[in-house]
Structure 1
Amino acid sequence: MLTTTLSRPPFATTMPAAVLAALLAFAPQAVAAPAPKAAAAAPAGADVLPFKATEKTLPNGLKVIVVPTGFPNLVSVHIPVQTGSRNEVEPGKSGFAHFFEHMMFRGTPAYPPEKYQAIITKAGARQNAYTSDDLTNYYTTFAKEDLETVLKVEADRFQHLSYPVEAFKTESRAVLGEYNKNSANPMQKLFEVQREAAFSTHTYRHTTMGFLKDIEDMPNQYEYSKVFFDRWYRPERTTVIIAGDVEPAKAVAMVEKYWGAWKRGSFKSNVPAEPAPKGAQYRHVAWQTPTLPLVTVAFRAPAFSDRQKDQAALSMLLSLSFGRTSTLYKRLVQDEQKVDQLFDFVPNRVDPTLATIGARVKKPQDALYVRDAILETVARLRDEPVTAGALADAKSANKYGLIRSLDNTEAIASTLASYVHFERSYGTLNRYYRVVDSLTPADLQAAARKYLVDNAMVVTTLSHEALPAAIGTLPKLADAAQGAKAAGSAADFDVLVQKSALPQIRFKLLFAAGSAHDPKGKEGLAALTAAMVAASGSRERKIDEVTKALFPLAASFSEQTDKEMTTFTGSTHKDNWNQYLGIALPLLVDPGFREEDFRRLKDAQKNALVLDLKDNNEEEFGKERLQANVFAGTPYGHPVLGTAKGIDAITLDDVRNFYRQAYQQGALRVGISGDVSDAMVASLKGALARLPAGTGLPATPALRGRMPNGLEVEIIEKNTRATAISFGLPIEVTRSHPDFAALWLAKTWLGEHRASSARLYQRIREERGLNYGDYAYIEAFPRGMFQFFPNPNLGRKAQLFEVWIRPVAPQNGHFALRAALFELDKLVSGGLSQQDFETTRDYLMKNVFVMTATQDQQLGYALDAQWYRTPEFTRMMREALAKLSVADVNAAIRKHLSSKNLSAVIITRDAAGLKDKLVSDAFSPIAYDAQKPQSLLDEDKQIGALKLGIRPEAVKITPAAEAFAQ
């Protein structure tokens, strides 16, 4: 629930997933319903936000901003506080801004954690928080009738936060667990080293998480924590943003009522200024495990300003020069295929920061070539201005992109929070976009000459293998510049139309084809074919030409492949519909299928499997492995990405053949939403009529995974700091099953994803501080560590009940497994109480609207309902929940779940040692940094002695390198 993020600049639209995993540990999910009124593109110089805000500063300095959005039923409250890692000025005290993001959920005398959580749960709300370099933001989205309640309890915790030393020390263990979780990502380490090289004095020297030595010492800093809170959590540093279905006068009065007594502070900030850089620097990170090399080139960047042009100009310049429409992207990623990721990042920060250009290189020997290509491009930017046309396209994409994102209340409030915090002003974002509108090619060139200079350059590399020796010698940019080289009829299917006033048009094309259709020995073919359709261009246009054509429209065309479905999603503003359709639909109906794109995308898919999943992400790795084990021998028995051997075996002819067989009209479901006209629907159907008639691939048979006999464990041996655990069993319950709502309620009580009210989270993470979170599922949730809600269009004929134990310290792995099984056994044997049943049902009756709030979710869930042959999802769930009894839920638990027959996957370093503990049923002790209640210690003894009865032959050890190899 408690996560750390960095706010993303408006122009960084090309950052790959691996970089986002490091820079954006959690991206807040949009959670509100479509509005009857929506934003339209603003003319140059006009306000980009179409909403009228009410602003008031209370006598104590608290700023209140109320924004009626026109979206019904929901309200989103965001509370950005002007404190982040930038404010951690004392040596040895880094990480405390992020730490308080955690501690703020520890309660007050009036609202201890369980009472506070009960109120949030009763409101059907979802909430979270994030920390950046410059701010900490707390946000909650809920039904409008609960506004006063939410403001009351939020005001209480900001004014009266209270936590004993025991809770403080427990939370410090969780924060260390979060650091350990991030340690598997090489990009995270590279950015740590980059910052230490770039800053000698300013607090931007450390990341939001802080220095490891400071995190490890946090249990000893209880008294300082109170000093930090007293300094920074004050009304004059805080803004309360209230957006949604709200009456401004009443909302302001509520804030005055509950927040007006909060006292101002007196502490004066003294963040040290960073001296001017004294020369180019190079740093290298030697990574212990195999991964692709990383190369970044960074420069000092100006602070954010909504009045001066420098920061906006530099951000725009790098996005144009290194983004997907750039010449260098085409050269390195598409044509030469030396790089599988190229990105730029110019963050909005209070003080001067870093602008970064980075690449993930396929071969170590090419790292020097790639670095020099980046430097050559940087050098040219100082001498050659961008064209007026390219800049105009970028402005258009930027503006339309912002408008596209404002499709729900939480997205609006979240966008505001990321800008409001600078001056606590609603007008900041509008002023900033006026600056963007005013940019000229000369402004961009001036920014290049001022900031892209030798003295301010920091080059950082990371690799497992040796890089060319010359990479440590940095050339002058002038030398790099000198050495640069110039480089028809109606279709036979219905269209589901969800009409609204949103000007953004979104459509989904769902084909009954997925990884379950992969031929044996060609595992990964469905995913690679979809990638080739979406990202290899059409017969008429190469992919770089498609990207350039879509850029000024801020439009997109993307793919998602799962076991039974492949979905293509298109999005554009209604003003650009005809132009967009002519660019995007040929990708599907007349694909280019070029050999160079095939090589590039095949490499990218294998890297996604071997590097991004297996090597750099223990959590998703464990979840995928559990799915594969339970469904071994079935069409679900391999990851959607395939296997290493299967990907290697795929040829371009295989892709062409799969495309011809799978993408036929009879296999297609179509949905479209937004301010859709009949003519738009007709033109979409006309374009899709070019697909061949036919029924597509043969349907996959009904299937079910193998039920384990007792506890069956696979231990994946990997060199890692933490131990990741997933376990589960196959279930026959899908959305079309009569027990779906009952089992959904049970898993919500046991382990709702990213919800701190759930039982597993409370007992393992909150009470014991063992890890970062503990969740349960009855539907597959790919990429769960990156998002709040599952994507739609993941329909499956067979599902898995699963418990996800996020990484724990290795010495606590055995205990954590026992603790989760202990709680599951109590649920299976004892069921839910009437009170737990009613509380969880009340939460779900409201939360079902939150999880289906965005345009994309609503359209996707509607198509899923067609596939499952069920009513619309929210109606189906609310009607089923209303009819449920606690007896129904407990009967479903006993029928479908087990705490004895389970398949488990554990990823850890000492596999043999863990196996000995498991098969010997050795007692598993646990030690705490803080005092715990005797009742918990007594329960620990009971859990530590719990007999699991795991047979030696039921435990298998697999080296990580062998998993998903074939």
Structure 2
Amino acid sequence: MHRLALLALPALVANAFAAAPAAPAKSRDVLPFKATEKTLPNGLKVIVVPTGFPNLVSVQIPVQTGSRNEIEPGKSGFAHFFEHMMFRGTKAYPPEKYQEIITRAGARQNAYTSDDLTNYHTTFAKDDLETVLKVEADRFQHLDYAEDDFKTESRAVLGEYNKNSANPFTKLFEVQRDAAFNTHTYKHTTMGFLKDIEDMPNQYAYSKVFFDRWYRPERTTVIIAGDVEPQKAIAMVEKYWGGWKHGTYKADVPTEPPAHGPIYKHVQWTSKTLPLVTVAFHAPAFSDKVKDQAALDMLLSLSFGRTSQLYKRLVQDEQKVDQLFDSVPNRVDPTLATIGARVKNPADALYVRDAILKTVAGLRDKPVPQQQLDDAKSAEKYGLIRSLDNTEAIASTLASFVHFNRSYGTLNNYFRVVDSLTPADLQAAARKYLTDENMVVTTLSSDALPAGIGTLPKLASFDAPAGSGKFDVLVQKSVLPQIRFKLTFAAGSAHDPVGKEGLAALTAAMVASAGSSERKIDEITKALFPLAGSFSELADKEMTTFTGSIHKDNWNQYLDIALPMLLSPGFREEDFRRLKDAQKNALQVDLKDNNEEEFGKERLQTDVFAGTPYAHPVLGTSKGLDAITLDDVKDFYRKAYAQGAVRVGISGDVSDAMVAQLKQALAKLPAGAGLPATTVPQAHQANGLEVDIIEKNTRATAISFGMPIAVTRSHPEYPALWLAKTWLGEHRASNSYLYQRIREARGMNYGDYAYIEAFPRGMFGFFPSANIGRKAQLFEVWIRPVAPENAHMALRIALTELGKLVDKGLTKEQFESTREYLMKNVFVMTATQDQQLGYALDAQWYGMPEYTSMMRTALSKMTVDDVNAAIRKHLSAKNLTVVMITKDAQGLKEKLVTDAFSPIKYDGNKPQALLDEDKAIGAMKLGIRPETVKITPASEVFAQ
């Protein structure tokens, strides 16, 4: 390690290190903030952005280190690995002390790794800025970990790979990149090659080399956004980060030679799934000056996105494809632009591939119409602005662009490039990059594909294509120009008729995704595109919510285009078939076939609520969906979406005229009170441990267990039980207890969390969605997939720790630290415009005060005795329903019912206390009776 010598600097040079004054945003900039930037003498870049949002600060630290930097053979995956290791602490702040500080700040934090960067992000109350900067500076400069900790985390990384292995898209893109690149490090994905991941426990010495090379101030930017004073923030950074030593290592990322395609690769998938077809091309690197990458991105979006003719043909009209997508990622070096499709019938794979190739061929010969391009520019601009509705979103968006040049101006410069694009620019990009030599075609399927799929025709062989209601409206006024409204109907899957399970969700999809009586869905999509407007649905057990979002400038146009989908639905047969197929695929393919974790959680719900209207997924059952007709949808719509059944909320820079317009439009809904109210479901309480083993051909074992509870959000003991749940297993938070005991101490999996409210789609978000109100809830523990040989032990550990909580409760110290976290975190979890509006409508539904004030008031009055009393009253570690998804179901059952000892092996050494604890837990008797264990083939789950 070497330090740059800065013995004496002339005044002119010294001034270069002074903080640049905050410059006013230019009228054409998409970021309307005044940023202050400074480069410290050691090379560290600091960017401070006051956002105008009160109370919160988001610190984002993008490091110019991603999988691109993994230049030695056999050493892939280390950039991602250090995303994990950076949470292993330092001598000054070991993990438990570090987490204690972050928890006291009420913060939510995480990190992610991409091809080109690793970004560490923390959002917290503004009073803790100096503390956060201090501890972050310490771990970047003094990361310290023992070899045993290194080996433990390496197993957690393997667990993440195993988790991802259930997703066929992950494997497809892994094979695609391996085929496309010969020398450049983009050849492997961010996770790295599996053989390298499996060898990581042996790479402790190299890990130190990697960190020393790449984690240096000249590769790092500290972004501080939110309720912050720039000069004070910069002074804090100088205080704690100024001593970080500049590095000397020179990167030597290999250059990829010119491509010599076309290339074809096929992935044979071992379990049932729909075929995937991708057509990729070697594409230009990101630039905020040169037009190529922006032009190609815009071209593919117009040609294969939801407004395109090919989307209308393949997805809507012919219904051969249920997903059509495109991607031109922003990367430091030349990358891959991908067009992809998920095909419903394997026999159509060749047809779909050639439809994509024919469209590509035409792009080189015919320019995009100017109006389409102008509309796309407008949509991209307003779409970005729409997303910048909270401090964290602003900071994270900045981080995704800042890492290229370590400059605040990169994003604004890029959008100037986008704004300057012409049809000729797009056509030039097509001719330069969409060539046979640059092409890589990849397919994946479990069934045989048509003959000829591997023979790639020349692009030249394709011909160019031819060319005033009485509603109480909840209004949340703010300065945000983005208007968002929500319409929440008292109608959900609990209202599905017997034998027609899935009807509520399908009806909602028909409203939001099937057009109006005047316009087909493709016409609506095209009309909304330049406005960056959206209209979406969310169906759950008790409610269905439609959310509209539009910039205030486009309000009148939007109402005329979007609201007729709800007020006068199209109900066309072809849309019904398309959306019914999509819902069946979401149930069978996306949930059951490709996602053991969400599959297990949904199965737990249906087991606990067996015999009630909550006993099937919101998506329905295979048999139920088959039985639904278009007439069923029309009938459900007329009964459910009535004026008396809707709650209305609107937020943003809302005028009285807008509210009046919305009320007048909703007066066209059918009259009436809506569907009959549902009763509270009477859930099944297990007697002892009742285990449902789902037999599925899978690499890892997913585990969820739980029990019904009488506590919903309106219950007086809800805040106390929420605190207990937070301490035990806060969702996606590494400061939670289960996470520390199962993942951190033992490296058994990717995470472990607890809930007292339903959290559907939990693996896709950090915070629960609003508008999932339910009349009955369950306590649930989610153990993310573990190696099959560790499944029995993982269950025992989780039950042991839950048992300690039930028997002993929280200590006063544990209670105080968790309460302090929640007092601040409640602002973080309700930070966005959508969350604030959704939680307010939920409060109406539950008949309770506004959520954040309710929680803070209750927490301020709460005692540790209140929490422990609620735990003893509502939770149990003995009477639970357990769902496990695994390959060897019979073998797992045998271990469970015989109470066999659960051994566990570690790659590295562990403290003797932990090993002694493992012996005791591994021998713990669970007392599971054979008659309480059932084995269910995955094919039979949610079938009827």
TM-score range, shorter chain: over 0.9
How many angstroms does 1:805 deviate by?
0.2
- Pick aligned residue for 1:389 from 362, 367, 371: 371
Whether 2:540 is the aligned partner of 1:558: answer: no
Judge conservation of contact 1:704–1:732 (CA < 8 Å) in 2: no
Measure the CA separation in 1 of the matches of 2:124 and 2:870: 29
How many angstroms does 1:491 deviate by?
1.6
- Pick aligned residue for 1:454 from 433, 436, 454: 436
Secondary structure of the equivalent of 2:301?
Answer: helix
Whether 2:698 is the aligned partner of 1:720: answer: yes
Q: Cα deviations across residues 315-342 of structure 1 (Å, max 9, x unaligned)?
A: 0000000000000000000000000000
Which residue number in structure 1 is paired with residue 9 of structure 2? none
Which residue number in structure 2 is paired with residue 27 of structure 1? none
Measure the CA separation in 2 of the matches of 1:206 and 1:735: 46
- Pick aligned residue for 1:497 from 475, 482, 489: 475
Which residue number in structure 1 is paired with residue 285 of structure 2? 303
Which residue number in structure 2 is paired with residue 15 of structure 1? none
Secondary structure of the equivalent of 1:241?
Answer: strand
How many angstroms does 1:294 deviate by?
0.3
Which residue number in structure 2 is paired with residue 538 of structure 1? 516
Which residue number in structure 2 is paired with residue 92 of structure 1? 74
Which residue number in structure 1 is paired with residue 89 of structure 2? 107
Query: 1:900 corresponds to which letter in structure 2?
Result: K
Secondary structure of the equivalent of 1:466?
Answer: coil
Judge conservation of contact 1:528–1:602 (CA < 8 Å) in 2: yes
How many angstroms does 1:303 deviate by?
0.2
Which residue number in structure 2 is paired with residue 943 of structure 1? 921
Which residue number in structure 2 is paired with residue 849 of structure 1? 827
Measure the CA separation in 2 of the matches of 1:589 and 1:820: 49
Whether 2:323 is the aligned partner of 1:341: answer: yes
Which residue number in structure 1 is paired with residue 943 of structure 2? 965
Q: Cα deviations across residues 126-178 of structure 1 (Å, max 9, x unaligned)?
A: 00000000000001001111000000000000000000000000000000000
Query: 2:78 corresponds to which letter in structure 1?
Result: F
Measure the CA separation in 2 of the matches of 1:551 and 1:390: 9
Measure the CA separation in 2 of the matches of 1:756 and 1:304: 34
Which residue number in structure 2 is paired with residue 778 of structure 1? 756
Whether 2:59 is the aligned partner of 1:77: answer: yes
Query: 2:354 corresponds to which letter in structure 1?
Result: D
Measure the CA separation in 1 of the matches of 2:495 and 2:710: 20
Secondary structure of the equivalent of 1:750?
Answer: helix
1:211-610 counterparts in 2 under 5 A? 211-481=193-463, 486=466, 490-610=468-588
Measure the CA separation in 2 of the matches of 1:739 and 1:424: 48
TM-score, with structure 2 as normaliser: 0.97
Secondary structure of the equivalent of 2:830?
Answer: coil
Query: 1:348 corresponds to which letter in structure 2?
Result: N
Which residue number in structure 2 is paired with residue 662 of structure 1? 640
TM-score, with structure 1 as normaliser: 0.95
- Pick aligned residue for 1:797 from 775, 780, 783: 775
Measure the CA separation in 2 of the matches of 1:671 and 1:49: 28
4+ residue segments displaced more than 3 Å: none
Measure the CA separation in 2 of the matches of 1:289 and 1:212: 20
Measure the CA separation in 2 of the matches of 1:862 and 1:958: 41
Which residue number in structure 2 is paired with residue 206 of structure 1? 188
How many angstroms does 1:801 deviate by?
0.2
Identity of aligned residues (%): 81
Query: 2:88 corresponds to which letter in structure 1?
Result: R
Which residue number in structure 1 is paired with residue 630 of structure 2? 652
- Pick aligned residue for 1:889 from 863, 867, 871: 867
Which residue number in structure 1 is paired with residue 746 of structure 2? 768
Secondary structure of the equivalent of 2:258?
Answer: coil
Which residue number in structure 2 is paired with residue 35 of structure 1? none
Q: Cα deviations across residues 225-263 of structure 1 (Å, max 9, x unaligned)?
A: 000000000000000000001000000000000000000
Measure the CA separation in 1 of the matches of 2:297 and 2:880: 51
Measure the CA separation in 1 of the matches of 2:860 and 2:90: 34
Judge conservation of contact 1:760–1:775 (CA < 8 Å) in 2: yes
Whether 2:934 is the aligned partner of 1:952: answer: no
Measure the CA separation in 2 of the matches of 1:181 and 1:552: 38
How many angstroms does 1:759 deviate by?
0.8
How many angstroms does 1:882 deviate by?
1.1
How many angstroms does 1:704 deviate by?
2.9
- Pick aligned residue for 1:690 from 657, 661, 668: 668
Query: 1:706 corresponds to which letter in structure 2?
Result: H
1:702-717 counterparts in 2 under 5 A? 702-717=680-695
Which residue number in structure 2 is paired with residue 183 of structure 1? 165
How many angstroms does 1:692 deviate by?
1.5
Structure 2 unmatched runs, 5+: 1-23
Secondary structure of the equivalent of 1:76?
Answer: strand
Measure the CA separation in 2 of the matches of 1:168 and 1:144: 33
Measure the CA separation in 1 of the matches of 2:712 and 2:421: 53
How many angstroms does 1:812 deviate by?
0.1
Secondary structure of the equivalent of 1:510?
Answer: strand
Measure the CA separation in 1 of the matches of 2:30 and 2:802: 50
Whether 2:799 is the aligned partner of 1:828: answer: no
1:20-31 counterparts in 2 under 5 A? none
How many angstroms does 1:493 deviate by?
1.9
Measure the CA separation in 1 of the matches of 2:928 and 2:705: 14
Secondary structure of the equivalent of 1:757?
Answer: coil
How many pairs are equivalent? 921
Whether 2:139 is the aligned partner of 1:157: answer: yes
Measure the CA separation in 1 of the matches of 2:291 and 2:506: 43
Query: 1:845 corresponds to which letter in structure 2?
Result: M
Whether 2:58 is the aligned partner of 1:67: answer: no
How many angstroms does 1:899 deviate by?
0.5
Secondary structure of the equivalent of 2:463?
Answer: helix
Measure the CA separation in 1 of the matches of 2:698 and 2:670: 49
RMSD of aligned Cα (Å): 0.9
Which residue number in structure 2 is paired with residue 26 of structure 1? none
Judge conservation of contact 1:81–1:238 (CA < 8 Å) in 2: yes
Deviates more, 1:697-706 or 1:572-581: 697-706
Which residue number in structure 2 is paired with residue 125 of structure 1? 107
Measure the CA separation in 1 of the matches of 2:564 and 2:931: 54
1:729-740 counterparts in 2 under 5 A? 729-740=707-718
Measure the CA separation in 2 of the matches of 1:387 and 1:426: 33
Measure the CA separation in 2 of the matches of 1:420 and 1:850: 24
Judge conservation of contact 1:334–1:600 (CA < 8 Å) in 2: yes
Which residue number in structure 2 is paired with residue 614 of structure 1? 592
Measure the CA separation in 2 of the matches of 1:704 and 1:749: 28
Which residue number in structure 2 is paired with residue 898 of structure 1? 876
Secondary structure of the equivalent of 1:383?
Answer: coil
How many angstroms does 1:492 deviate by?
2.8
Which residue number in structure 1 is paired with residue 3 of structure 2? none
Measure the CA separation in 2 of the matches of 1:287 and 1:355: 23
Measure the CA separation in 2 of the matches of 1:739 and 1:170: 38
Q: Cα deviations across residues 456-485 of structure 1 (Å, max 9, x unaligned)?
A: 100000001100111110000010236x5x
Judge conservation of contact 1:770–1:809 (CA < 8 Å) in 2: yes
Secondary structure of the equivalent of 1:170?
Answer: helix
Judge conservation of contact 1:704–1:731 (CA < 8 Å) in 2: no
- Pick aligned residue for 1:861 from 830, 839, 844: 839
Deviates more, 1:491-500 or 1:551-560: 491-500
Measure the CA separation in 2 of the matches of 1:632 and 1:702: 13
Deviates more, 1:119-128 or 1:490-499: 490-499
How many angstroms does 1:83 deviate by?
0.4
- Pick aligned residue for 1:701 from 679, 697, 702: 679
